[in-house]
Structures are given as C-alpha cells and as structure tokens.
C-alpha cells in the first residue's frame, strides 16, 4: 500500500484473515505479506515502501524459490512521494512539476520486477491517472514498463457498463498472432476498429442524428453498441451488490460471440439482450425473453 488510506489497508487485512489467506494461529502458513506506507506518512516513507515490498518479493523468489504476485496500490503515490522529496531537496522540477529523476526512480522499481531461474515476480499495479490524462508524465512513465494496461472509463461507467474497461485505451503486448493465434488476433482488431469508427461518428450523431449516417455507418453503430454491451459481464465478486449470479465465459466462447456480432448474424437482436450476460447463447435467449415480454405487454 503506497500512500493510500489506513482504513483500506485495515479492511484488506481483516478480509484476508476471514478468508484464511492470513493465518494468525500459524503465521508460517500465511501466503501474504502486507507492507504499508500510508498517506499520513512522511514522503520518504511513502517513496520507500514500494521498494521494501519488492525486496521482500525478491527474497521469496530467490531464497524460498517461490513464484510471487506483487500488488502495488497506488504506483502514482510512489511518483507523488518522489516529487515531494525532490522539492524538499531543492531540485528544479521538470514537466508538470514532477521531479527531474522521474524516469530513473520508476525504472529502479519496475526493472527489478522480473523472473529468474529460482522463480518469478508478477506485478499488478493500480495507476491513478490525474484528470484522466493518459499523457501525464506519471502514468505515461509507468505504462512504458507494463506488459498490459487495463484502462477504466468514466464514460462507460456512466452508461452502466461494468467492468468499465475501455478496449481502445487498454493495451497488451501479448495480443500478437504468434501468441494468441490468428483468429483471436483478427477478431480483436475488428472489434477495436468497429468501436473506433463508432467513436469517430459520435459527434456527427450528436449534431445531426443517426438518420443522417450512411447505411454502412448505421450498421457499424448498431454493432458497436452491441459489442459495448456484450463486453459487460456479471462478476462473482459483485453478486452481493447486484443480486445477479456471476458468469464465467471461456476464451473460445468469447471469440465466437464477437465473431457472430461482427458477421452480422445477430443484427436482428436488440442491444439490451447483450447487456450483463455470459456467453452469446445467453444473449440470444435474453432477446427471446424480451420479445415475449413485449408481446405480453401489448
């Protein structure tokens, strides 16, 4: 925990105790180590806590020969603490007020997260993006070191689409034909192209309306809206909040679903049918239920 709230750290600790991840009766059986430099701590402590946790992860990897999962929340606070330390040392700030040593400091942390013959360290990091600006030096420097980024969008959350992951801003170095396969890669690219075209048309739609678009563009918009809703998914962890059971969808099923939408096989289904469902067969079944409900209302 880097520069976050004490309450959040305490809640996490209590949840881990309840789930048995932390065993206070037999500490050696516990599979987790929690390291906190909270927001009320001096900037030096907040700057060093991430490096401390990483040193512990290296010990588990090199001495205990284990594969380690390292969570950092929030890596932006590491940069922020470094900026405060830099100001206290009287250094001249660089772009947007950040420390001149930003890239070096980030590299000193990120480049140590690696695999050896003894084991591996895999890191999942929360990145706060100031003013939702992905070009801000802090997130931009962080993204340069990451293999994959999952960007959450306020606009998608406002539409009620959860998880609110923006597929256009999110990236992965693994999305290559030689890794994921030709079919997966081609469908992923077509999905992104369809969503990108929809994004480009939104200004025209807002001013002139859908009727002024060409037949091809109207079809693209309809499919993009279906894709947006099909990207939503009921989560198991959200069951207690939504009352909807969580759904697990395999990779092959996911690819098949998007392939059918892109091919136009499901153009006749309403977009509501794709919202918060599992696989594409559930969307078809939901469309039939919606049609029956509409008939009963009439």
* DSSP-assigned beta bridge partners for residue 148: 172
Q: Token pair for residue 177?
A: 């034909």
Q: Provide the pLDDT for residue 209.
A: 87
- The topology (CATH level 3) of 180-297 is 1.10.1140
Parts of the chain belonging to CATH 3.40.50.300: 6-146
Instruction: Say what the pLDDT of residue 86 is.
Output: 94
pLDDT, residue 181, reads: 94
The distance from CA 185 to its chain's CA centroid, rounded to whole angstroms, is: 19
CA 45-49-55 angle, to 5 degrees, is: 140
Query: Residue 126 has which token pair?
Result: 């929360």
Q: What does the pLDDT read at residue 294?
A: 84
Mean pLDDT, each 10-residue run in order, the chain (298 residues): 90 89 85 91 94 96 95 94 94 88 95 94 96 92 95 92 93 95 96 95 89 91 95 87 86 95 93 92 92 83
Residues 6+ apart with CB under 8 A from 75: 2, 50, 125, 126, 127, 142
What is residue 241's predicted lDDT score, i.e. its pLDDT? 77
Q: What is the DSSP string of the chain?
A: -BS--HHHHHHHHHHHHHHTSS-SSSGGG-------B-TTS-HHHHHHHHHHHHHHHHHHHHTS---EEEEETTHHHHHHHHHHHHHHTTPPP-GGG--TTHHHHHHHHHTT----SS--EEEEE----GGG-TTSHHHHHHHTT-SEE--B-HHHHHTT-SS-B-TTT-EETT-SHHHH-HHHHHHHHHHHHHHHHHHHHHHHHHHH-GGGS-HHHHHHHHHHHHHHHHT----GGGHHHH-PPP----HHHHHHHHHHHHHTTTTTS-GGGGTT-SSHHHHHHHHHHHHHHHHHH-
Please give the pLDDT value at position 242: 76
Residue 201, pLDDT score:
93
CATH code 1.10.1140.10 region(s) in the chain:
180-297
pTM: 0.85
The CATH T-level fold of domain 6-146 is Rossmann fold (3.40.50)
Cα(183)–Cα(251) distance, rounded to whole angstroms?
12
* 196/220 Cα distance (integer angstroms): 10
């Amino acid at each position: 925990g880097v520069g976050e709230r004490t309450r959040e750290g305490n809640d996490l600790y209590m949840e881990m105790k309840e789930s048995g991840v932390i065993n206070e009766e037999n500490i050696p059986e516990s599979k987790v180590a929690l390291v906190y430099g909270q927001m009320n701590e001096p900037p030096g402590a907040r700057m060093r806590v991430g490096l401390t946790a990483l040193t512990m992860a290296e010990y588990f990897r090199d001495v205990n020969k284990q594969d380690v999962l390292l969570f950092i929340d929030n890596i932006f606070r590491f940069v922020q603490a470094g900026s405060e330390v830099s100001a206290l040392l009287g250094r001249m700030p660089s772009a947007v007020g950040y420390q001149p040593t930003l890239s070096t400091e980030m590299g000193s942390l990120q480049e140590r997260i690696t695999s050896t013959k003894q084991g591996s360290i895999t890191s999942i990091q929360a990145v706060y993006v100031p003013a939702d600006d992905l070009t801000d030096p802090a997130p931009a420097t962080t993204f340069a070191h990451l293999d994959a980024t999952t960007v959450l969008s306020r606009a998608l959350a406002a539409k009620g689409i959860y998880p609110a992951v923006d597929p256009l801003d999110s990236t992965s170095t693994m999305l290559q034909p030689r890794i994921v396969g030709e079919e997966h890669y081609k469908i992923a690219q077509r999905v992104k192209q369809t969503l990108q075209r929809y994004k480009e048309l939104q200004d025209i739609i807002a001013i002139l309306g859908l009727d002024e678009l060409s037949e091809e563009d109207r079809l693209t918009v309809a499919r993009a809206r279906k894709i947006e809703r099909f990207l939503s998914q009921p989560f198991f962890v959200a069951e207690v909040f939504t009352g909807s059971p969580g759904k697990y969808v395999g990779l092959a099923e996911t690819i098949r679903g998007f392939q059918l939408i892109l091919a136009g096989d499901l153009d006749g289904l309403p977009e509501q049918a794709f919202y918060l469902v599992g696989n594409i067969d559930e969307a078809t079944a939901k469309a039939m239920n919606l049609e029956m409900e509409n008939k009963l209302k009439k």
